[in-house]
Chains A and B, each alone.
Chain A
Amino acid sequence: ETGVTQSPTHLIKTRGQQVTLRCSSQSGHNTVSWYQQALGQGPQFIFQYYREEENGRGNFPPRFSGLQFPNYSSELNVNALELDDSALYLCASSLELPNNEQFFGPGTRLTVL
């Protein structure tokens, strides 16, 4: 176990709704990254937070937004859900920057109907 937890484990939403996914990082880790993984694909980088500031973003539209809290836990918010948003959402925490090992949580499986 990595010590990274995510909630919920599964979620079903309908198109147009909004969703918030949560991640608690491993103790002592101040960096959290979020990924979207479609079936049969590698994880796609959404963004990274370092000490509560966004520190890099992938090719995702603005309706994907995030937040990191003083305790370094994090949220991923997705507005105006689309069918293609159905995927496994992974968060990973790491200690400091820039290029340390990332520890992944088990993921949240989001289904958009």
Chain B
Amino acid sequence: RKEVEQDPGPFNVPEGATVAFNCTYSNSASQSFFWYRQDCRKEPKLLMSVYSSGNEDGRFTAQLNRASQYISLLIRDSKLSDSATYLCVVNASSSASKIIFGSGTRLSIRP
């Protein structure tokens, strides 16, 4: 079993739709969680950190469920510019860093 798993997609949704991704992680001691976005042939960029209480940034909402060991990302009112690969990131160690990226979920927004 992979340490961090994501549905690879692709998710193909119309503009204005709401779309949600989940990401599961295997190490219950994992300390921090992030969502990154990566455009084709570009480097990853931080979309948002994921806090235990959940957090929202505009159209984006991230949540953490420690009991079930997953994090989620919800995108409301999707825009064409949201088309990208969304990477789930987990720091699986409490001491030295052990940063694990999921394989990414591809999202394509159609007009």
List residues of chain A with CB under 8 Å of any chain B CB: 2, 33, 35, 40-45, 48, 50, 55-58, 90, 97-99, 101-107
On chain B, the number of residues with a Cβ less than 8 Å from chain A's Cβ atoms is 21
Q: Does B32 contact A (CB under 8 A)?
A: yes
A45-B101, A97-B97, A98-B97 known, 4 other contacts, Cβ within 8 Å: A42-B101, A55-B96, A90-B43, A99-B32
For the complex of A and B, 7 pairs with smallest distance between CB atoms = A56-B97, A99-B32, A42-B101, A56-B96, A104-B43, A48-B97, A45-B99
Are the CB atoms of A55 and B97 closer together than 8 Å?
A: yes
CB-based nearest A residue for B34:
A101
In the complex, how many residue pairs between chain A and chain B have their CB atoms under 8 Å apart?
A: 58
Given A33-B97, A44-B101, A45-B98, A98-B44 contact (CB < 8 Å): no
Instruction: List 22 A–B pairs whose Cβ atoms lie within 8 Å, in order of A's numbering.
Output: A2-B45, A42-B87, A42-B101, A42-B102, A42-B103, A45-B97, A45-B99, A45-B100, A48-B96, A50-B97, A56-B93, A56-B96, A56-B98, A58-B99, A90-B43, A98-B91, A99-B32, A101-B46, A102-B46, A104-B44, A104-B45, A106-B42
Give every chain A residue within 8 A of B26 (Cβ-Cβ). none
Q: Does B31 contact A (CB under 8 A)?
A: yes
Give every chain A residue within 8 A of B93 (Cβ-Cβ). 56
Are the CB atoms of A107 and B99 closer together than 8 Å?
A: no
8 Å CB contact of A43 from B42, B45, B91, B101: B101
> Within the complex, what minimum Cβ distance (angstroms) separates B4 from chain A?
8
Q: What is the CA–CA distance of A32 and B99 in the complex, to the nearest angstrom?
A: 12
Give every chain B residue within 8 A of A35 (Cβ-Cβ). 101
Give every chain A residue within 8 A of B31 (Cβ-Cβ). 98-99
Q: Does B61 contact A (CB under 8 A)?
A: no
Q: Does B69 contact A (CB under 8 A)?
A: no
Q: What is the CA–CA distance of A44 and B104 in the complex, to the nearest angstrom?
A: 12
CB-based nearest A residue for B93:
A56
Within 8 A of A (CB), among B38-86: 42-46, 49
8 Å CB contact of B32 from A42, A98, A106: A98
